Amino acid sequence: MGILDESEAAYIQNKFQEDRRKSVNSLGKKLMKNYEGYNKELQRVENLYNFDRSFNEYHIIAGVDEVGRGPLAGPIVSAAVILDLRVCSKEMILDINDSKKLNEHKREILSKIIISKALAYSISFCSNEDIDKKGIGFCNNEVFKKAIASLKIKPNLVLSDGYTIKEFSLPNKAVIKGDSKSASIAAASIVAKVYRDNLMKKYHELYPEYDFISNVGYGTKKHIEAIEKYGATPIHRKSFLNNIIGEKHL
Protein backbone atom coordinates (compact mmCIF):
# COMPACT_ATOMS: atom_id res chain seq x y z
CA MET A 1 0.00 0.00 0.00
CA GLY A 2 1.24 3.49 -0.82
CA ILE A 3 1.46 6.64 1.27
CA LEU A 4 -2.26 7.15 0.67
CA ASP A 5 -4.86 4.43 0.68
CA GLU A 6 -7.09 4.03 -2.39
CA SER A 7 -9.98 6.05 -0.99
CA GLU A 8 -7.72 8.96 -0.07
CA ALA A 9 -6.09 8.92 -3.50
CA ALA A 10 -9.49 8.83 -5.21
CA TYR A 11 -10.71 11.76 -3.11
CA ILE A 12 -7.71 13.92 -4.00
CA GLN A 13 -7.99 12.98 -7.67
CA ASN A 14 -11.64 14.02 -7.72
CA LYS A 15 -10.79 17.37 -6.13
CA PHE A 16 -8.25 18.09 -8.83
CA GLN A 17 -10.71 17.08 -11.56
CA GLU A 18 -13.43 19.33 -10.12
CA ASP A 19 -11.19 22.37 -10.35
CA ARG A 20 -11.80 24.19 -13.67
CA ARG A 21 -8.30 25.62 -13.95
CA LYS A 22 -6.28 23.74 -16.56
CA SER A 23 -3.05 24.22 -14.63
CA VAL A 24 -4.59 22.57 -11.57
CA ASN A 25 -5.99 19.72 -13.68
CA SER A 26 -2.58 19.18 -15.25
CA LEU A 27 -0.88 19.19 -11.85
CA GLY A 28 -3.43 16.70 -10.55
CA LYS A 29 -2.81 14.32 -13.43
CA LYS A 30 0.95 14.56 -12.89
CA LEU A 31 0.64 13.89 -9.18
CA MET A 32 -1.62 10.90 -9.73
CA LYS A 33 0.75 9.48 -12.37
CA ASN A 34 3.61 9.78 -9.89
CA TYR A 35 1.48 8.19 -7.19
CA GLU A 36 0.59 5.26 -9.45
CA GLY A 37 4.25 4.84 -10.39
CA TYR A 38 5.22 4.85 -6.72
CA ASN A 39 2.65 2.18 -5.92
CA LYS A 40 3.81 0.04 -8.84
CA GLU A 41 7.43 0.25 -7.69
CA LEU A 42 6.41 -0.42 -4.10
CA GLN A 43 4.66 -3.61 -5.20
CA ARG A 44 7.63 -4.73 -7.29
CA VAL A 45 10.07 -4.27 -4.40
CA GLU A 46 7.67 -5.86 -1.94
CA ASN A 47 7.71 -8.96 -4.17
CA LEU A 48 11.51 -9.03 -3.86
CA TYR A 49 11.29 -8.77 -0.08
CA ASN A 50 8.53 -11.37 0.03
CA PHE A 51 10.71 -13.80 -1.93
CA ASP A 52 13.29 -13.62 0.84
CA ARG A 53 10.62 -13.70 3.53
CA SER A 54 9.28 -16.92 2.04
CA PHE A 55 12.21 -18.72 3.65
CA ASN A 56 10.61 -17.97 6.99
CA GLU A 57 12.14 -20.96 8.74
CA TYR A 58 15.42 -19.00 8.67
CA HIS A 59 15.81 -15.89 10.82
CA ILE A 60 18.80 -14.20 9.20
CA ILE A 61 19.16 -14.31 5.42
CA ALA A 62 22.12 -13.05 3.42
CA GLY A 63 22.19 -12.42 -0.31
CA VAL A 64 25.46 -12.74 -2.21
CA ASP A 65 26.33 -11.80 -5.78
CA GLU A 66 29.43 -11.20 -7.88
CA VAL A 67 30.48 -8.69 -10.49
CA GLY A 68 33.36 -8.97 -12.94
CA ARG A 69 33.37 -12.58 -14.03
CA GLY A 70 33.92 -11.78 -17.72
CA PRO A 71 36.26 -8.75 -18.02
CA LEU A 72 39.78 -8.94 -19.40
CA ALA A 73 41.18 -6.84 -16.54
CA GLY A 74 40.64 -6.21 -12.85
CA PRO A 75 39.32 -8.38 -10.02
CA ILE A 76 36.15 -10.35 -9.58
CA VAL A 77 34.18 -8.74 -6.73
CA SER A 78 31.46 -10.15 -4.50
CA ALA A 79 29.21 -8.50 -1.94
CA ALA A 80 27.09 -10.09 0.75
CA VAL A 81 24.17 -8.18 2.28
CA ILE A 82 21.81 -8.91 5.15
CA LEU A 83 18.70 -6.73 4.94
CA ASP A 84 16.12 -6.18 7.64
CA LEU A 85 13.24 -8.13 6.11
CA ARG A 86 10.86 -7.22 8.94
CA VAL A 87 10.44 -3.63 7.79
CA CYS A 88 7.05 -2.32 6.73
CA SER A 89 6.38 -1.47 3.09
CA LYS A 90 7.25 2.21 3.46
CA GLU A 91 10.67 1.38 4.92
CA MET A 92 11.77 -0.94 2.11
CA ILE A 93 14.60 0.18 -0.19
CA LEU A 94 12.85 1.15 -3.41
CA ASP A 95 14.49 0.77 -6.85
CA ILE A 96 16.73 -2.16 -5.85
CA ASN A 97 17.14 -4.40 -8.86
CA ASP A 98 19.68 -6.23 -10.96
CA SER A 99 22.54 -3.70 -11.00
CA LYS A 100 22.80 -3.98 -14.81
CA LYS A 101 19.27 -2.58 -15.11
CA LEU A 102 20.17 0.61 -13.23
CA ASN A 103 22.17 3.58 -14.45
CA GLU A 104 25.40 4.57 -12.74
CA HIS A 105 23.92 7.49 -10.80
CA LYS A 106 21.07 5.38 -9.42
CA ARG A 107 23.48 2.59 -8.42
CA GLU A 108 25.70 5.03 -6.53
CA ILE A 109 22.74 6.40 -4.57
CA LEU A 110 21.32 2.96 -3.83
CA SER A 111 24.66 1.54 -2.72
CA LYS A 112 24.94 4.21 -0.03
CA ILE A 113 21.35 3.60 1.10
CA ILE A 114 21.86 -0.17 1.21
CA ILE A 115 25.08 0.15 3.21
CA SER A 116 23.42 2.52 5.69
CA LYS A 117 20.29 0.39 6.16
CA ALA A 118 21.70 -3.14 5.96
CA LEU A 119 22.02 -5.14 9.15
CA ALA A 120 25.40 -6.24 7.78
CA TYR A 121 27.35 -6.16 4.53
CA SER A 122 30.79 -7.15 3.28
CA ILE A 123 32.83 -6.98 0.09
CA SER A 124 35.38 -9.50 -1.14
CA PHE A 125 37.49 -9.92 -4.28
CA CYS A 126 39.98 -12.11 -6.06
CA SER A 127 42.68 -10.33 -8.05
CA ASN A 128 43.55 -10.90 -11.68
CA GLU A 129 46.62 -12.83 -10.47
CA ASP A 130 44.36 -15.15 -8.46
CA ILE A 131 42.15 -15.65 -11.52
CA ASP A 132 45.15 -16.52 -13.70
CA LYS A 133 46.50 -18.99 -11.15
CA LYS A 134 43.30 -20.67 -9.95
CA GLY A 135 40.70 -20.04 -12.64
CA ILE A 136 37.61 -17.87 -12.74
CA GLY A 137 35.29 -20.66 -11.54
CA PHE A 138 37.32 -21.23 -8.39
CA CYS A 139 37.58 -17.49 -7.73
CA ASN A 140 33.86 -16.98 -8.26
CA ASN A 141 33.14 -19.55 -5.58
CA GLU A 142 35.89 -18.18 -3.34
CA VAL A 143 34.62 -14.57 -3.34
CA PHE A 144 31.17 -15.83 -2.38
CA LYS A 145 32.65 -17.70 0.59
CA LYS A 146 34.92 -14.84 1.63
CA ALA A 147 32.11 -12.28 1.50
CA ILE A 148 29.84 -14.42 3.70
CA ALA A 149 32.66 -15.18 6.14
CA SER A 150 33.37 -11.44 6.52
CA LEU A 151 29.83 -10.53 7.61
CA LYS A 152 29.64 -9.30 11.19
CA ILE A 153 26.39 -11.26 11.60
CA LYS A 154 26.31 -14.96 10.77
CA PRO A 155 23.36 -15.78 8.50
CA ASN A 156 21.14 -18.85 8.86
CA LEU A 157 20.65 -19.01 5.08
CA VAL A 158 22.62 -17.72 2.11
CA LEU A 159 20.86 -16.95 -1.16
CA SER A 160 23.44 -16.94 -3.95
CA ASP A 161 22.91 -15.63 -7.45
CA GLY A 162 23.06 -18.39 -10.03
CA TYR A 163 25.42 -20.80 -8.31
CA THR A 164 25.33 -23.10 -5.31
CA ILE A 165 28.41 -22.36 -3.23
CA LYS A 166 30.80 -25.32 -3.14
CA GLU A 167 32.50 -26.59 0.03
CA PHE A 168 30.30 -24.32 2.12
CA SER A 169 29.00 -25.17 5.58
CA LEU A 170 25.95 -22.87 5.84
CA PRO A 171 22.52 -23.57 4.35
CA ASN A 172 22.60 -22.23 0.80
CA LYS A 173 20.05 -21.88 -2.00
CA ALA A 174 21.04 -20.85 -5.53
CA VAL A 175 18.57 -18.49 -7.22
CA ILE A 176 18.67 -18.25 -11.02
CA LYS A 177 18.55 -14.56 -11.98
CA GLY A 178 18.45 -13.89 -8.26
CA ASP A 179 19.23 -10.19 -8.61
CA SER A 180 15.78 -9.79 -10.22
CA LYS A 181 13.96 -12.00 -7.68
CA SER A 182 15.55 -11.50 -4.26
CA ALA A 183 15.87 -8.22 -2.36
CA SER A 184 19.04 -9.40 -0.62
CA ILE A 185 20.75 -10.55 -3.83
CA ALA A 186 19.71 -7.38 -5.68
CA ALA A 187 21.22 -5.29 -2.89
CA ALA A 188 24.44 -7.32 -3.01
CA SER A 189 24.56 -6.92 -6.80
CA ILE A 190 24.43 -3.13 -6.50
CA VAL A 191 27.05 -2.86 -3.74
CA ALA A 192 29.47 -5.14 -5.63
CA LYS A 193 28.96 -3.31 -8.94
CA VAL A 194 29.54 0.14 -7.45
CA TYR A 195 32.65 -1.01 -5.59
CA ARG A 196 34.20 -2.63 -8.67
CA ASP A 197 33.31 0.20 -11.05
CA ASN A 198 34.88 2.76 -8.71
CA LEU A 199 37.98 0.60 -8.44
CA MET A 200 38.28 0.44 -12.23
CA LYS A 201 37.96 4.24 -12.38
CA LYS A 202 41.05 4.45 -10.17
CA TYR A 203 42.87 2.06 -12.49
CA HIS A 204 41.89 4.34 -15.38
CA GLU A 205 43.98 7.08 -13.77
CA LEU A 206 46.99 4.75 -13.86
CA TYR A 207 46.34 3.34 -17.33
CA PRO A 208 44.24 5.92 -19.24
CA GLU A 209 45.03 4.39 -22.65
CA TYR A 210 42.84 1.36 -21.89
CA ASP A 211 39.65 3.36 -21.24
CA PHE A 212 38.82 1.49 -18.02
CA ILE A 213 36.54 4.36 -16.98
CA SER A 214 34.16 3.33 -19.78
CA ASN A 215 34.69 -0.40 -20.24
CA VAL A 216 35.51 -1.31 -16.57
CA GLY A 217 37.80 -4.01 -17.92
CA TYR A 218 35.52 -5.61 -20.52
CA GLY A 219 36.85 -6.37 -23.99
CA THR A 220 35.62 -3.43 -26.02
CA LYS A 221 37.22 -2.60 -29.35
CA LYS A 222 39.10 0.36 -27.87
CA HIS A 223 40.35 -1.76 -24.98
CA ILE A 224 41.64 -4.56 -27.22
CA GLU A 225 43.30 -2.06 -29.57
CA ALA A 226 45.10 -0.54 -26.57
CA ILE A 227 46.37 -3.96 -25.50
CA GLU A 228 47.65 -4.63 -29.02
CA LYS A 229 49.40 -1.26 -29.08
CA TYR A 230 50.74 -0.97 -25.52
CA GLY A 231 50.65 -4.55 -24.22
CA ALA A 232 48.97 -5.92 -21.11
CA THR A 233 49.03 -4.04 -17.81
CA PRO A 234 49.67 -5.58 -14.36
CA ILE A 235 45.90 -5.79 -13.80
CA HIS A 236 45.11 -7.74 -16.98
CA ARG A 237 44.02 -11.38 -16.78
CA LYS A 238 46.65 -13.01 -18.94
CA SER A 239 44.65 -16.24 -19.13
CA PHE A 240 41.77 -14.30 -20.71
CA LEU A 241 43.95 -12.74 -23.39
CA ASN A 242 45.46 -15.86 -24.99
CA ASN A 243 42.72 -16.24 -27.58
CA ILE A 244 42.35 -12.52 -28.25
CA ILE A 245 45.85 -11.15 -28.80
CA GLY A 246 49.27 -12.61 -29.56
CA GLU A 247 51.77 -13.66 -26.91
CA LYS A 248 54.01 -10.71 -27.72
CA HIS A 249 51.45 -8.40 -26.07
CA LEU A 250 51.31 -10.34 -22.76
Do 181 and 217 belong together in one domain? no
Do 82 and 48 belong together in one domain? no
If one counts the domains in the chain, the total is 3
Do 123 and 232 belong together in one domain? no
* This prediction's pTM: 0.86
Band (13; pLDDT cuts 50, 70, 90): low
Do 29 and 93 belong together in one domain? no
**Residue-level pLDDT at 211:** 97
Looking at the predicted structure, is the pLDDT value of residue 10 above 70?
no
Do 216 and 102 belong together in one domain? no
Do 44 and 133 belong together in one domain? no
**Residue-level pLDDT at 57:** 94
Q: Is 197 annotated as a binding residue?
A: no
Looking at per-residue confidence, does 15 or 88 come out higher?
Answer: 88
**Residue-level pLDDT at 242:** 82
**Residue-level pLDDT at 1:** 43
Do 169 and 110 belong together in one domain? yes
Work out the mean pLDDT of the chain and round it to a whole number: 89
Q: Decide if 198 is inside a domain.
A: no
pLDDT tens across 68-103, in order?
A: 999 999 999 999 999 999 998 889 999 999 999 999
**Residue-level pLDDT at 39:** 82
Q: Is 211 annotated as a binding residue?
A: no
**Residue-level pLDDT at 90:** 83
Distance CA 67, CA 92 (A): 24
Mean pLDDT of 146-175: 96
CA-to-CA dists, residue 199 to 14, 32, 83, 169, 205, angstroms: 51, 41, 25, 31, 10
Q: Decide if 215 is inside a domain.
A: yes
pLDDT tens across 186-207, in order?
A: 999 999 999 999 999 999 999 9
Q: Is 161 annotated as a binding residue?
A: yes
Do 156 and 106 belong together in one domain? yes
Do 27 and 127 belong together in one domain? no
Looking at the predicted structure, is the pLDDT value of residue 218 above 60?
yes
Q: What kind and span of H or E run contains 228? A: helix 221-230
pLDDT tens across 18-65, in order?
A: 556 666 566 655 665 666 667 888 899 999 999 999 999 999 999 999
Mean pLDDT of 138-145: 97
Q: Decide if 119 is inside a domain.
A: yes
Do 95 and 114 belong together in one domain? yes
- Owning domain of residue 224: 203-249
CB-count exposure of residue 227 (10 Å: 0-12, 13-18, 19+): buried
Looking at the predicted structure, is the pLDDT value of residue 171 above 50?
yes
Q: Decide if 1 is inside a domain.
A: no
Looking at the predicted structure, is the pLDDT value of residue 132 above 90?
yes
Do 16 and 123 belong together in one domain? no
Do 31 and 118 belong together in one domain? no
Q: What count of other Cβ atoms lies within 10 Å of the Cβ of residue 91?
A: 9
